[in-house]
Amino acid sequence: MQKNRRNTYRTDLRQPLIACAIIGLAAAVLVLGLAFLLPEEDLLLYGGAAVGLYVLVVGIVVWAYLARYRRITLANDAAKLMTTEIHDMFRYVMDIPYAIIHESGTVKIVSGALQDLLKLRSPLCNVPVGSFCSVPMEDIIACAKNGGPVRKITVTEDGVPVDHTQPMRTEIDGKKYDMQCYPMRSRGKEYYFVVFRDVTEVLAMRKDAYENEPVVAYIVIDSLQELAQYIRVSYRTAVSEIEAKLKEWAAGFGGMIREYEREKYVLVFTREALDKCIKNKFRILDTIRSIKLGDNSFPVTISIGVGAVHGSFEDKERAASDALDIALQKGGDQAAVNDGKSVTPYGGRVNTMYGSTTITSRVNSEHLCRLMREAGNVLIMGHRSPDYDSIGSCVGLARLAICARGDVSKIRVVVNREHANFRTCYDLLAHLPEYRSMFISADTAMDAVRSDTLLIMSDVNNVYNTESPKLLKAVKNIVIIDHHRRQDELYEFKPLMTYIRPAVAAAGELVSEMLEHSPHREALLKEEANLLLAGIMLDTKNFTVGAGMQTFSAVHYLYGRGAHANAIRTLFTESMSTLFTACDIDSRTRTYRDKIALTWLSVDHAATEEDNIAVAKAADKLMTIDGIEASFALLRADNTVTISARSRDRINVQIIMQRLGGGGHYDMAGTRLTHTSLEAACVQLKTVLDDYLDNEYENELGMKR
């Protein structure tokens, strides 16, 4: 390109020479013709005329060439003069710092502005570029050749891409400069023309705009009314103390906090203050948790939803509301920061008793019944690899839908009909006419989707863990009923109704409460009640884990509808192979850091349902060991490692599993690591455990003391 650009300033001699040659040849041919045609005495006259004409024409061509040559020479001289003036203007007048650098990294020439910055005596120098520039020479070369910095992306063991690309920016004499690099060639050598653009003020303005950008947060007090029912304490005194702590916290970073509803607050503050809160992991959660009620054993907790998105205050308020929903649906006692792309949780150290009353169950039951009646048809779906709680809760919701609509023809339950758990449960329902065509596959459900279809997700809130994620994308009217802590994901859809209570032991308990407090409480059949009871017994490990007063209240209702543990005893029998597998897992048990129990199972085939159940039971069994506060059971099959986690009331295994890509409850969680070995999975798990035990666990114990 540069060669072609230089050729435009030169005079091409080929055209006039070719023209003169053609004219000369024509003149010679003319003279020869005249020699044959004219007498000798006339030849001299006409031949001389032809030669004179040739000389005239050649003279005109030469004159035209000389005139063009003069114009081009004058233009070249003017261009050289202008180039010199522009060079001087760049060096001294426009005050733009630039440098010409050899490919070896040696600076050859600098502008006047850069010369003053570097305090050099002459613009001609041979200093290494690294003496004043923090960007390495290989990055300068790459930037010049590619028109920008080359992206440096690595992939973690979990397959997550991490961008390590550094901006072409350096600091000189206390100011920050962006670098623009261009290749150039002179006398056969490669050089790089680097312009340094002062961005100090721009970056300062950006930083100021970022730090002062308003952020909206919602704050609610968790379960204070429920706590006040069981302890002798002044409700208003407790609220006043909490409010005083919140106002003191907000005043510390210049925020504005107002109570907009009972025990609910809105906070407006800056992004700089949010970054400080994130850095100290929202210490206000610990401050509020230190407030004890009653006999100093009941901690008060708060939940915070932060909308840290760009846009209008309406956008920020909506993001804060979504974040608060996630914080509450994950069990409360935490702050959730929504940046528009993901939701990051902080806190969650206490297994809160964020619950509800019979009023909540009745209101949600009435609302769900209304949605069922208004829908064209109702689809009910649990999670993949369904257990008794998923199947039982779906059956309970089907009964509620039958009562609400008065018709069974437009109600279907989406489930894997080939799964062993489903076949076992279906044996209890097969003789009931309403269930003979109730259960359909995911593919069949896709054909049943209409614009007014209502889809109810039960015992699951993770989109990708449902029986059919594709079905969720096809339906726009969705209801979520679950007892698992919500994952840190922003739904692509807006649910019509979300009823997530992490403090509840099982989804069957939620559905039983909704049935009990609905006008159709007497409609539940004995077979349906038995399946709901089976799900509750499964998730509570026969009422030994997570069962509370409301759990037994739900069981009392189910017993009143004909359920009995003896009727479902066959659902919990074990095969001989499962027993041998459990013994194999028990023999591998190890302790880690005195309070953690680890065990594992490695198989050479795809993990079966029996393998998963055996590992989950092993994690439960490890919690019976004296001194163990958390247990982790690993299952490796086909380059995939599944981890089941359990804990008591001091370690939040949901946070630990979440850091490995999973989730769950405070005291029961799990995750799945793909494309990894058992040894690598153990290393990842121990790394996360060390971080949790060295930081959050110790801080929590100190706070409790």
**Which residues of 75-188 form beta strands (DSSP E)?**
98-102, 106-110, 124-128, 153-155, 161-163, 169-172, 175-186
For residues 662 and 371, the model is more confident at 371
Q: What is the pLDDT of residues 21-67, one digit of tens each?
A: 777 777 777 767 766 776 766 666 766 777 777 777 777 777 877 78
- The rounded mean pLDDT for the chain is 82
The pLDDT, as a whole number, for residue 543 is 85
Band of residue 266 on the pLDDT scale cut at 50, 70, 90: very high
The pLDDT, as a whole number, for residue 273 is 93
pLDDT of 272 higher than 60: yes
The pLDDT, as a whole number, for residue 235 is 63
Residue 427 contacts residue 451 (beta carbons within 8 Å):
no
Between 167-181, 589-603, 659-673, the lowest mean confidence (pLDDT) is in 659-673
**CA 532 – CA 555 distance, rounded (Å):** 9
Q: What is the pLDDT of residues 618-654, one digit of tens each?
A: 888 888 888 899 999 999 988 889 999 998 878 888 8
pLDDT of 675 higher than 80: yes
Domain boundaries, the chain: 2-93, 98-204, 214-347, 358-570, 576-704
Per-position DSSP letters for 514-550, written without gaps between them: HHHTSTTTT---HHHHHHHHHHHHHHTTTTTSS--HH
Q: Which of 187-201, 262-276, 318-332, 654-668 has the highest mean pLDDT?
A: 262-276
Which residues 6+ apart lie within 8 Å of 562 measured at CB?
525, 526, 529, 530
**CA 129 – CA 658 distance, rounded (Å):** 46
Determine the topology of domain 98-204 in CATH: Beta-Lactamase (3.30.450)
pLDDT of 557 higher than 80: yes
CATH of 214-347, one of 3.30.230.70, 3.30.70.270, 3.90.850.10, 3.30.360.10: 3.30.70.270
Q: Which CATH homologous superfamily contains domain 358-570?
A: inorganic pyrophosphatase (n-terminal core) (3.90.1640.10)
For residues 352 and 675, the model is more confident at 675
Per-position DSSP letters for 322-338, written without gaps between them: HHHHHHHHTTSSEEEEE
Between 28-32, 569-573, 587-591, the lowest mean confidence (pLDDT) is in 28-32
The pLDDT, as a whole number, for residue 40 is 67
Backbone angles phi, psi at 479, to 5 degrees: -125, 140
Per-position DSSP letters for 577-640, written without gaps between them: HHHHHHHHHHTT-EEETTTEEEEEEE-SSPPPHHHHHHHHHHHHHHTTSTT--EEEEEEEETTE
Please determine, looking at this structure, whether the domain spanning 576-704 carries the CATH number 3.10.310.30: yes
Q: What is the pLDDT of residues 78-109, one digit of tens each?
A: 667 666 665 665 555 556 888 888 988 998 88
Give me the residue label for tokens 């114990």.
701
Between 389-398, 607-616, 626-635, the lowest mean confidence (pLDDT) is in 607-616
Share of the chain above pLDDT 90, in %: 32
The pLDDT, as a whole number, for residue 596 is 94
pLDDT of 561 higher than 90: yes
pLDDT of 297 higher than 70: no
Average pLDDT over residues 319-347: 83
Between 83-97, 282-296, 370-384, 459-473, the lowest mean confidence (pLDDT) is in 83-97
Q: What is the pLDDT of residues 488-511, one digit of tens each?
A: 566 778 888 888 887 788 999 999
